Structure 1
Amino acid sequence: MKSKVNEALACFNSGFDCSQAILSAYCEEFGLEKETALKLSCGFAAGMGRLGETCGAVTGAYMLIGLKYGKYLPHDNQSKEKVFELVQEFERRFVERNQSTNCRELLGFDLKNCDKEKALPVIRQVCPNAVKIAAEIIESILGLTENESMGCR
């Protein structure tokens, strides 16, 4: 599979949010329809519904990890542990490149209490980079590129 980093960026730049860009770019690899992915991930944008908490690009990636490895049987704790391990690995790599996974910290202001027009230039600078980095990391972690050995299920 070719890298979908550019697809995630194009989705973001077309008017969708960071969480939507990440989840929708890769969702079909795991049997989730794009429209459903866009709807499902909408509330995770802007740090969880504009709360400024965990970056939407990060939560989109976490959802992808769950789609590939998530626990769906009551006693499958091995899958849950795999998801937790990969979420922590994703977080480590994202922080290494961005210093934080917190939306408010990445942007440098609180989205809830700011002038949206004044915030747009910062969002246009910071968020595409977060989407790009999240996409690169998730491709590596989930083995979604041709150069990775894990492959999709």
Structure 2
Amino acid sequence: MTKGEIAKQNFENGYNCAQAVLLAFCDELGFDKNTAAMLAAPFGGGMGRLREICGTVSGMYMVLGLANGDDEKAQLYKNVQSLAEKFKTDNGSIICRELLGLRIDGKDDPTPQKRTAQYYKSRPCSELCRYAADLIDEFLSENKKENI
């Protein structure tokens, strides 16, 4: 099973988008899953349903930080920007409300929607979780460090 498939499954099992991506990498990175789920919890819905940066992108950056956070700041930020550009090129945006086609300004109702079959069918989040996890997995494979 790919990291993307694991992330998609995590999302479809009730985790938010940021949690879904980060949790797909916990075993490999030696990061506690309960701590990871708590850490990523506020990042779902584009930062607490503010619909800003997509939670899958935030989860991807958390993985990058755990894997390469000791890189020089300039290199780390270059990698963040490169990943953002690739995500944006392939998906049209890194902004949650734009990816969901929402016409809101600033924030959404803070109450999450019920996870129904219609919920999953009406939004791209499962596939974005898959995409983001596969993207960061590919990046880490191509830029392997000795300790990973």
TM-score (norm 2): 0.83
* Counterpart for residue 100 of structure 2: 107
* Counterpart for residue 74 of structure 1: none
Residue identity matched to 1:23: L
Q: 1:139 aligns with which of 134, 137, 140?
A: 137
1:92 aligns with 2:85: yes
Residue identity matched to 1:132: R
SS in 2 for 1:112: coil
* Alpha-carbon distance, 1:85 to partner: 1.4
Distance 2:143 2:55 in 1: 27
Instruction: Could you list the structure 1 runs, at least 4 aligned residues long, displaced by more than 6 angstroms after superposition.
Output: none
SS in 2 for 1:51: coil
* Counterpart for residue 47 of structure 1: 46
SS in 1 for 2:37: helix
* Counterpart for residue 61 of structure 2: 62
User: Are 1:86 and 1:141, in contact at CA under 8 Å, matched by a contact in 2?
Assistant: no
Which structure is higher in helix share? 1
Q: Share of identical aligned residues, percent?
A: 36
After superposition, the CA RMSD in angstroms is 2.5
The Cα offsets for residues 18-58 of structure 1, whole Å up to 9 and x where unpaired, read as: 00000011023222111111110000000000000000000
TM-score (norm 1): 0.81
Residue identity matched to 1:88: Q
Shift in alpha-carbon separation, 1:50–1:123, aligned structure 2, 3 A? farther
User: Are 1:69 and 1:79, in contact at CA under 8 Å, matched by a contact in 2?
Assistant: no
Residue identity matched to 1:94: F
Listed as ranges, the gaps of 5+ residues in structure 1 are 72-77
Distance 2:44 2:110 in 1: 16
Shift in alpha-carbon separation, 1:93–1:108, aligned structure 2, 3 A? same
* Alpha-carbon distance, 1:90 to partner: 0.8
The Cα offsets for residues 66-115 of structure 1, whole Å up to 9 and x where unpaired, read as: 111114xxxxxx52222211111110110111110000100011461599
Shift in alpha-carbon separation, 1:108–1:121, aligned structure 2, 3 A? farther
Shift in alpha-carbon separation, 1:87–1:25, aligned structure 2, 3 A? same
* Alpha-carbon distance, 1:121 to partner: 4.1
